[in-house]
Amino acid sequence: MAKSILESREWYMAAYVPQGLPTSDHIKLRSVPFSLAADSIPDNHVAIELLFISIDPYLRGRMVGHEDGLYFPQFKLNEVITAVGVGRVIGSKDEKFKEGDVLFDFSLPVAEYSVVPTDSMSMRKLDLDSGIPLPEYLSALGLPGFAAWVGIGLVGEVKPGSNVFISAAAGGVGMYAGQLAKLKGCRVVGSTGSDEKVRLLKEEFGYDDAFNYRTESDFDACLTNKKVYP
């Protein structure tokens, strides 16, 4: 018989980080009891086991302790932080979801187990028969892939035959942006921070050319030489 009380480890915001990198002084791990009893789940909520989370750059902006010029609210001190994630339903008080369903949401607690409301506009049940690996919902089909699609398809409106330059090309967004541009029939050149990543862009991601911005001193000449401009 399964235990009705589990131990859940969760990450919480212990102190804000106005500058520099967050450390274990700012984000801490604690263990808390988690009940699987049916009466511990409110109506229109589900209990989930977290499977995957996406560590995206916007999370850093939620840790500074002020909201001036930011478009996301700050994490509250001593409360569990949230992130884009994928989780499995282990208990449900919503007829739309049943145990075993796998859900995606833009704001899941970064905890092994949690109870979350089902009225989130971004929450959706994933099709486990689609053949799509679950981590892809956080990468190619998550925020990085979405940002790349917006940049290439909506903002850039690139056309076949265009010359496209992408900075931070080996990053989470850049690697998808370059591939999307290639699919549209563009010539794509990217910049990145190491020779190893240059090889990755050209050999794995299909970039036409790439360069290491740390070792190039004249970017205009570099881009011209690589025929980014017509």
Tell me: the pLDDT tens digits for 72-110?
899 999 999 999 999 999 999 999 999 999 999 999 999
Q: Do residue 17 and residue 126 come from a single domain?
A: yes
Q: Do residue 122 and residue 216 come from a single domain?
A: no
pLDDT at 3: 65
Output the CA torsion 164→166→171→172 (10° steps).
-50
**Which string of DSSP letters, residue by residue, matches 11-64?**
EEE-S--SSS---TTTEEEEEEEEE--GGGS-TTEEEEEEEEEE--THHHHTSS
pLDDT at 223: 74
CATH of the domain at 68: 3.90.180.10
Report if residue 138 sits inside a domain: no
Tell me: the pLDDT tens digits for 100-154?
999 999 999 999 999 999 999 899 999 999 999 999 999 999 999 999 999 999 9
Report if residue 30 sits inside a domain: yes
Query: What's the rounded Cα separation, in Å, for the pair 151 and 47?
Result: 36
Tell me: the pLDDT tens digits for 8-46?
999 999 999 999 999 999 999 999 999 988 889 999 999
Of 80, 107, 130, the last residue of a domain is: 130
**Which string of DSSP letters, residue by residue, matches 67-105?**
-TT-SSPPPPTTSB-EEEEEEEEEEESSTT--TT-EEEE
> For residue 94, which of 112, 115, 111 has the smallest C-alpha distance?
115
Helix (H, G, I), strand (E, B) or coil at 117: strand
Report if residue 210 sits inside a domain: yes
First to last CA, the chain: 69
pTM over 0.75, yes/no:
yes
Q: Do residue 11 and residue 125 come from a single domain?
A: yes
Report if residue 43 sits inside a domain: yes
pLDDT at 228: 46
Q: Do residue 12 and residue 119 come from a single domain?
A: yes
Of 130, 163, 196, the last residue of a domain is: 130
Q: Going by C-beta distance under 8 Å and a sequence separation of 6 or more, which residues neighbour residue 57? A: none
Helix (H, G, I), strand (E, B) or coil at 223: helix
Report if residue 137 sits inside a domain: no
CATH of the domain at 161: 3.40.50.720
> Which domain range does residue 42 map to?
5-130
pLDDT of 1 > 50? The answer is no
Q: Do residue 74 and residue 126 come from a single domain?
A: yes
CA 46 to chain CA centroid, Å, is 22
Q: Per the structure, how many domains does the chain have?
A: 2
Of 95, 130, 165, the last residue of a domain is: 130
